[in-house]
Structure 1
Amino acid sequence: MSSYTKTYITYDIETIGLPFDSFDEARKEYLIRGADTKELQEKKINEMALSPLTGQIVCLGVKIMQKQENLWVELKNGAFMVDPSIADGNMQTIELPNGIKSVFCSEKTLIEGFWKILTSYPQPHLITFNGRGFDAPFIMLRSALLKVKPLHNLMSGTRYSYKDSHTDLLDELCFFSPQQSGATRRYNFDFAAKAFGIESPKADGVDGSKVGELYAHQSYTTIAEYCLRDVQATWDLYVAMKDYMPDIR
């Protein structure tokens, strides 16, 4: 009788806004409605990266781990990086400066590749930081928009019943009751990581707000390495919390 080994998949995405001029006039007006200064209009345009209807995924990092004989074993660590010069269905494997191999491809191929990874392991346990609030719904909707059938429901369950298949560290830190202040204040990832003694993935001067500019300058390897630092820090935060917070799967 074969034994089941639980697989943990930590993932993170980087996104950018779609070109503002790619929208018709009615949608342009809708997107900047209420912004009566150039600064406010620019702010709304920059926020397009936060919605799957106005943005796209440019990088997805994954780290796959199993615990074998009380030791964590890494099965896979890498990223899918979107290169607009590569057609759907084609892939190019590139070794990043940090030595990690990553796949350069289209956004559609990135999403297809992620679904294949999730179906390669029985009942994988997902680990994210704010994945239920951002990464998971973003991927699900981009998959639908690109007509890629999802092979895994990243949003299955309710806020209080999804824990058997997904650990969202932001929810855990807030005890599922995020507030603007107090004991369950909703801190950002950088702050939470540092609080647990984990090196910030932004230590090299890159953060999510710079991804759009980096992508425009074709700094693809810089984005991929940043995304993978986010993934590693998310995993490190999970390990730091797991044995000391109640009911973390």
Structure 2
Amino acid sequence: MKRLQDKVALITGGNAGIGKAAALLFAQEGARVVVAARREDEGAQTVAEIIAQGGEAMFVRADISRSADCAAMVTATVKRFGRLDVAFNNAGVVQYGKTVIELEEEEWDRVLAINLKGVFLSMKHEIPEMLKTGGGAIVNNSSIGGLVVIPGMSAYQSSKHGLIGLTKVAALEFAARNVRVNAICPAGTDTPMLASWTADPELKQRLVATHPIGRLADPIEPARAALFLASDEASFITGVALPVDGGSILP
């Protein structure tokens, strides 16, 4: 039995990295998948790959920092597939290399708007649709940066720490109504976003060295963790922030 058979899954940031890996995996597990992202060409490619492997999928262009876009992506999902069972709120941006006094207010606002407010807005529109059909499962993509402290990443880490708090609150608010809300916390994962700030081989090697397992994660590995939490195999799990970190030794 496929773990998401007959489920409808919405994945934000499903055009690349962990989100794309999850979109393909969820489709293989029987879900009808909605890929929501800002970059249409990449999103359409993900959808094409799902269809090519025999799945059902559609793309919705969405900027999750905008409430109207979050409402529209959920509305489009329900209009096409009739319901919403699973949401993987994965879209996010990174920030690094600036102390608190060096970081510009505009960059702080941008990172928090996408990484934290964007998940709040997504859940605000996702949860009511899940309640209409008896419940559902939400997985939010936080980060190892939501569990540890890394200097120079104040906006990113504040957003990811906050996302874990938001996840736990939502989990308690809707546990009795059969909506489970959990988070995954990946460490270094070999994605285009990570490559954007580890182009320096020495910096990348230092990052790899913080993982006792001896390598970065492949995007499919955190995607599998998200699949587990979204599936009925995790039916008694809610409010969890699950490290997917290769034994990370970050402080």
Please report the TM-score for the alignment, with normalisation by the length of structure 1. 0.33
Q: Which has the higher contact order (CA 8 A, sep 6+)?
A: 1
Q: Which has the larger radius of gyration?
A: 1
- Structure ranking higher in strand proportion: 1
- Structure ranking higher in helix proportion: 2
